[in-house]
Amino acid sequence: MTSSNPLRNDELQAYWMPFTPNKAFKAKPRLLESAAGLYFTTDDGRQVIDGSSGLWCSALGHGHPKVTEAIREQAGKLDYSTAFGFGHRPAFELANVVADVMPGSLDHVFFTNSGSESVDTALKIAIAYHRLKGDASRTRLIGRFNGYHGVGFGGISVGGMVNNRKFFGSLLPGVDHMPFPYDPATMAFTNGQPETGAAYADELENLVKLHDASTIAAVIVEPVVGSAGVFIPPIGYLERLREITAKHGILLIFDEVITAFGRLGYASAAERFKVEPDIITTAKAINNGTVPMGAVIVQKRIYDTFMDETKGGVELFHGYTYSAHPLAVAAALATQKVFKEEGVYENVQTLEPHFGAAAHGLKTAKHVTDIRNLGFMSAFTVAQRDGVLGARANDVFLKAFEMGLKVRLSGDHIAIAPPLVSDKAHIDRIFNLFAETLAAVD
Ligand code: PMP
């Protein structure tokens, strides 16, 4: 089908699109017109099933009536409440709701507008926390190769994906990267967590030896790697990171922008893996991706340090014009309520085995060289064509859309992570369409 009202070439030029090859896109635009439930409708009238939950954020699918209504109602009531020196009641309510579902003493919440802002906020909190405690030399940060922590200067400094870092100068000083805990020789095609590989965490001890713990503020990792292509932590790996960071007084930050709020069947990866970090960064599914929002959740002792009169009661000099924006908050309160009322996390827990089996049913599909999955997250590595990174995976991505399936492309990997409300039939439809797509690509 062709659109009855396509954008002309001159109309396409002004918009500089994010994370998109602009020229290729504008030569052949893919436009989404509307969305309901698990389906997008394109401008040429086709139905496309959302196999990626938007960008990992549309946990409830699209246009959930309770979320839509909450936003509408809030817009007519209080459309803005300055974050500085004023508050509004629902923001306090949401902070309590979020704190309640986070593990252990992670019970204070700082609101942001995106994952990138959550990450940079967390890094700043970590450094300032040590300084307030009299450890001003603890400024070094440790991330991981292949880590994705958004696009702020802090996030790309601790992040480890080359394309996000190159072109942007010298970045933050004093940053190291731990190895990526993945070995295709032993871990390819693992359904769930790999059994070996916990020892990758021991590299942190080497970095501590090199720099001395007294210079290190924080370690940040995605508990399950998302943007680099869904890589699942080996059993015992996160536990080991927690042990080493605790031993050396280093804060552990879990970047849960993708994993928080149900992706793994729990409110957080921290809960699923039973590893409590000092700080958790979130965004995306917190309010079903409907209004930009993120949140940083910190342990009580961190918040208390900032409030401590004996330390000067230094408040965090940090925030955003739109922190805890009323529309984002209203959407989040409604989303969090639906998670509970509709048993959304339980749905992921129940269907995870079906999801994993459906993903691994494509083991022998053409071009597939690896499959990884946990909860409602999965990724397929697609064999390169003529040694060109991502070329064939890009063809798969485009072909899938043509065949009525939206997936997420990342280098040679295709991620499939449908809304958390998907049932068995949705899951089967998504993986069947993906199998047909793979078969149709040379
Ligand atoms: N951290 C992680 C782990 C992410 O996956 C992302 C986004 N995919 C971000 C940070 C950045 O979030 P945003 O795009 O909302 O800035």
Mean pLDDT, each 10-residue run in order, the chain (442 residues): 84 96 96 98 97 98 98 98 90 98 98 98 98 96 98 98 93 98 98 98 98 98 98 98 98 99 98 98 98 98 92 84 98 99 98 98 98 98 97 98 98 98 98 98 97
The two structure tokens encoding residue 437: 């797509």
The confidence score (pLDDT) of residue 315 equals 84
**ipTM summary value:** 0.99
Q: Hey, which residues does 371 pair with through a beta bridge?
A: 380
For ligand 1, the distance from its centroid to the CA atom of residue 313, given in whole angstroms, is 31
Say if ligand 1 is within 6 A of residue 115 CB: yes
Closest atom of ligand 1 to 114 CA is 15
Closest atom of ligand 1 to 150 CA is 11
Amino acid identity, position 67: V
User: What count of residues does the chain have?
Assistant: 442
- For every residue of 99-154, DSSP letters joined together read HHHS-TTEEEEEEESSHHHHHHHHHHHHHHHHHHTT-TT--EEEEETT----SSHH
Distance CA 418, CA 187 (A): 24
For ligand 1, the distance from its centroid to the CA atom of residue 258, given in whole angstroms, is 7
Give the contacts of 379 (CB within 8 A, at least 6 positions apart). Answer: 229, 230, 231, 371, 372, 373, 410, 413, 414, 415, 416
Task: List, by residue range, all CATH 3.90.1150.10 domains of the chain.
Answer: 9-60+343-440
DSSP state for residue 6 in the 8-state scheme: P
H helix intervals, 153-283: 153-158, 162-165, 184-187, 203-211, 237-247, 269-273
Amino acid identity, position 31: L
pTM over 0.90: yes
Helix (H, G, I), strand (E, B) or coil at 79: coil
Task: List, by residue range, all CATH 3.40.640.10 domains of the chain.
Answer: 69-341
Contact by Cβ (8 Å): 294, 114: yes
Say if ligand 1 is within 6 A of residue 245 CB: no
DSSP state for residue 317 in the 8-state scheme: -
Give the contacts of 440 (CB within 8 A, at least 6 positions apart). Answer: 399, 403
For ligand 1, the distance from its centroid to the CA atom of residue 116, given in whole angstroms, is 6
Contact by Cβ (8 Å): 233, 310: no
The confidence score (pLDDT) of residue 46 equals 98
Say if ligand 1 is within 6 A of residue 332 CB: no
Say if ligand 1 is within 6 A of residue 116 CB: yes
**With respect to CATH, is domain 69-341 assigned 3.40.640.10?**
yes
For ligand 1, the distance from its centroid to the CA atom of residue 301, given in whole angstroms, is 26
For ligand 1, the distance from its centroid to the CA atom of residue 5, given in whole angstroms, is 33
Closest atom of ligand 1 to 117 CA is 16
The confidence score (pLDDT) of residue 2 equals 75
Say if ligand 1 is within 6 A of residue 120 CB: no
**With respect to CATH, is domain 9-60+343-440 assigned 3.90.1150.10?**
yes
Say if ligand 1 is within 6 A of residue 259 CB: no
Of the candidates 169, 172, 168, the one whose C-alpha atom is nearest the C-alpha of residue 220 is: 172
The confidence score (pLDDT) of residue 1 equals 61
Distance CA 240, CA 236 (A): 6
Closest atom of ligand 1 to 284 CA is 15
HSE (side-chain half, CA atoms, 13 Å) at 55: 14
Judged on CB neighbours under 10 Å (0-12, 13-18, 19+), 124 is: middle
Ligand 1, atom 12, lies closest to the CA of 115
Amino acid identity, position 12: L
Closest atom of ligand 1 to 116 CA is 16
Say if ligand 1 is within 6 A of residue 258 CB: yes
Distance CA 19, CA 292 (A): 17
